[in-house]
Structure 1
Amino acid sequence: MAELSIRALKKSYGPTEIIANISLDIVDGQFVALVGPSGCGKSTLLRMIAGLETISGGEIAIGTRVVNTVQPKDRDIAMVFQNYALYPNKTVADNIGFPLYMARVPKAERNRKVAEVMRSLDLDALAKRYPKQLSGGQRQRVAMGRAIVRNPQVFLFDEPLSNLDAKLRVSMRAEIKELHQRLKVTTVYVTHDQVEAMTMADQIVVMRAGHVEQVGAPLDLYDRPANKFVAGFIGSPSMNFFDGQLSERAGVLSFVTSGGLSIPLAPELRERASQAKTLGIRPEHLQLGSVETTGALPVEVAVIEPTGNEATFILRSGGEQFVAVQTGRHSYRPGDRVFISASTEMLHFFDGSERALTS
């Protein structure tokens, strides 16, 4: 195991900048997820760590060794790809053992290590099968086994679950997390799925256009996003945003949106709200009711998306459309008039530069 240190890292293709002066420290044994929209540079950053992409500037160190010019095979890292990259003419056992074969590990020791890895990944019964005889989840476990058997200092995962169906992704998330808890190897995991990042990682690095927007523990990013981009990216469904400004009438504070919605505010929010251009509320922090209460706003139910234990509501009021999520069963129908309210402590404010305003 080793820590991973990135200093002022840059990557350009001619005049096009892909990675812009990124610095990042990953603690020994930590599981870090790189997330962001397509084209943000997260896979390029991972490939630079692996040595599969040259760097245009900066430094990458694994442990105490700077690896800028070190060949990928000599960096003591193992990478698991999205497409598994298994040898079709080799059995499961031979695929897992191939890195040891190339490293000229004696056969007896090689067989012992392969058997140990297959047992840990529940692949014993599949040892003599070929990749074409395996399901997607089984192939992914074989790819993971081939990485584990090398006992590397760093694991690199490049969107390893994106080819799997939804149910299998959930089970594989748990397997990868359990594997990391057992092996405690420094891990960098690239994904476009923020739910994967939230459920698996110790730390999340949110990227946009080659820059790091924020680094933090999953719940820190959820509760205290640094800016509007992070607030909208972390959380599913995405945070609701309302452009508007603070209003005070007869001593009552509210945030009046450009669509005409007047959201009541507590007095302690005056300072932040006075500087805000945008108010953010997460869908799960909006409460629906059929009876009007103090501070509740009347809205119309436009669409209901039930998912079993909860339902997503698309709501309209004046010129605004937004989303609320409610757990449990309900009797609402599209077209119903309902009332919404939000807890004061769950509101987020952003200034004109989209920076979060904190208390």
Structure 2
Amino acid sequence: MASVSIASVNKSFGSHPVIKDVSVEIADGEFVILVGPSGCGKSTLLRIIAGLETIDSGTLAIGERRVNDVEPKDRDIAMVFQNYALYPHMTVAANMAFSLVQRGVAKAEVERHVHEAAAILEIEQLLSRYPKQLSGGQRQRVAMGRAIVRNPKVFLFDEPLSNLDAKLRVQMRGEIKALHHRLATTMIYVTHDQIEAMTMADRIVVLRDGKVEQIGSPLDLYDHPVNLFVAGFLGSNGMAFFRGCYRDGQFVSSDGLKLPFAARGDLEGRDVVYGVRPDDFILTDDGVDATVDVLEPTGSETQMLARWGSQKFTSLFRGRLTAPPGSSVRLGIAPGRAHVFDAASGLRLDGQSPFHA
């Protein structure tokens, strides 16, 4: 196991910068997920750690060792790819053993490592099969097994679940998280899926346009996003944003909607963006009348698409609701759950904690 230190790293492809002064400290045994929209630089950063891309400037260290110019095979890392990259003419056992055989490890030792990894992943019964005889989930387990047998200092995952169907993705998320707890090895995982990031990571690194926007635990980023981008990106349903200003002790939107929040006196008249997560709306007689556009029941939850005046938003409630399209419901905001951002810069106005509505 080893820590990973990324210090002021820059990378350009030609004249186009893709990684811009990125610094991240990853502790020994930590599970860190790099997340962001397509083109944000997350896969490039992972490839830099793997040694598949060079660094223009900055320092990369694995453990105490600076590895800027170290070949990938000598970095003691193992990578799991999106497309599995299994050899079709080899059995599962041979695929898993390939890197050890190439290194000249004794046959008995290879077999021991393969069977130990297969037991961890519960694929012992698949060792004699070929990749074409496996399901997508089984192939992904084999790809992880090939990485495990190497006993690396760091595991790297490049969107490993993107080719799986939705139900299998959920299952494999749990299995990878359980694998991390069992192996206690440093893992760095890239995904564009913020649900994967929220459910699996010890810490999340949110990237945009090659820069780090915020680093923190999943719930810290969810509850205390530093800017509008992070607030809008994290969460299975997007945060609702209302534009307006702070006036006379409350938020007043551009079309007259009034919502409460406590703020410093120097914000009087300032243009702000008021944010509410879907699950922080509440049904209350003291709320503001909202017009229902669509109800989407899922059984355990109900998602409601509604409007306050011209402002559309999504709210989420536990249980089942009955409200036909066009009907009115009274909605409020759960106490302490409003988020307020500066309209010009997009930065959170209070630094770290939400305003208390």
**Same fold, TM exceeding 0.5?**
yes
Q: Is 1:307 the counterpart of 2:302 in the alignment?
A: no
Q: What residue number does 2:346 align with?
A: 354
Q: Deviations over 1:71-97 (max 9, x none)?
A: 111110000000000000000000001
Distance (Å, rounded) in 2 between the aligned partners of 1:44 and 1:183: 26
The CA deviation string for residues 237-293 of structure 1, in whole angstroms up to 9 with x for no partner, is 011111101222xxxx3211123322133x45655675451110111000135xxx2
- 1:84-123 superposed matches below 5 A: 84-123=84-123
Helix, strand or coil: the match of 1:73? helix
Q: 1:154 to 1:220 in 2, by over 3 A?
A: same
Match of 1:241 in 2: 241
Alpha-carbon spacing, 1:270–1:171, altered in 2? closer, same or farther (3 Å): farther
Change (3 A) 1:155 1:273: farther
User: In 2, distance between residues paired with 1:91 and 1:273?
Assistant: 69
| Contact 1:276–1:357 (Cα < 8 Å) also in 2 | no
In 2, Cα distance between the equivalents of 1:2 and 1:273? Answer: 50
Q: Which residue of 2 aligns with 1:287?
A: 282
Task: Name stretches of at least 5 consecutive residues in structure 2 with no aligned partner.
Answer: none
On the 8 A contact 2:297/2:320 being kept in 1, the answer is no
Match for 1:357: what amino acid? L
Q: 2:71 aligned with 1:76, yes or no? A: no
Task: Give the 3 Å change call, closer, same or farther, for CA 329–199 of structure 1 in structure 2.
Answer: same
Using the alignment, how far apart are the partners of 2:276 and 2:265 within structure 1?
17
Structure 2 vs 1, CA of residues 272 and 132 (structure 1 numbering), >3 Å: closer, same or farther? farther
Q: Within 5 Å, which residues of 2 pair with 1:189-200?
A: 189-200=189-200
What is aligned with 1:184? 184
- The residue number in structure 1 matching 2:63 is 63
Q: Assess if the C-alpha contact under 8 Å between 2:247 and 2:268 holds in 1.
A: no
Conservation of the 8 A alpha-carbon contact between 1:137 and 1:164: yes
Correspondence for 1:15: 15
What are the residue-to-residue correspondences of 1:1-359 with 2, within 5 Å?
1-248=1-248, 253-265=249-261, 267=262, 275-289=270-284, 293-294=285-286, 296-351=287-342, 352-358=344-350
Partner Cα separation in structure 1 for residue 336 and residue 264 of structure 2: 9
Paired amino acid for 2:333: A
CA spacing shift, 1:273–1:67, aligned 2, 3 Å: farther
Amino acid at match of 1:25: E
**In the aligned structure 1, how far is the partner of 2:117 from the partner of 2:151?**
10
CA distance, structure 2, for counterparts of residue 21 and residue 273 of structure 1: 36
Counterparts of 1:343 and 1:276, CA distance in 2: 23
- Runs of 4+ residues over 3 Å off in structure 1: 267-276
C-alpha separation in 2, matches of 1:268 and 1:256: 13
3-state DSSP class of the match of 2:205?
strand
**CA distance in structure 1 between the aligned counterparts of 2:269 and 2:336, rounded to whole angstroms:** 16
Percent identical: 57
Amino acid at match of 2:22: I
Contact 1:272 1:357 in 2 (8 A): no
Question: What amino acid is aligned across from residue 353 of structure 1 in structure 2?
Answer: S
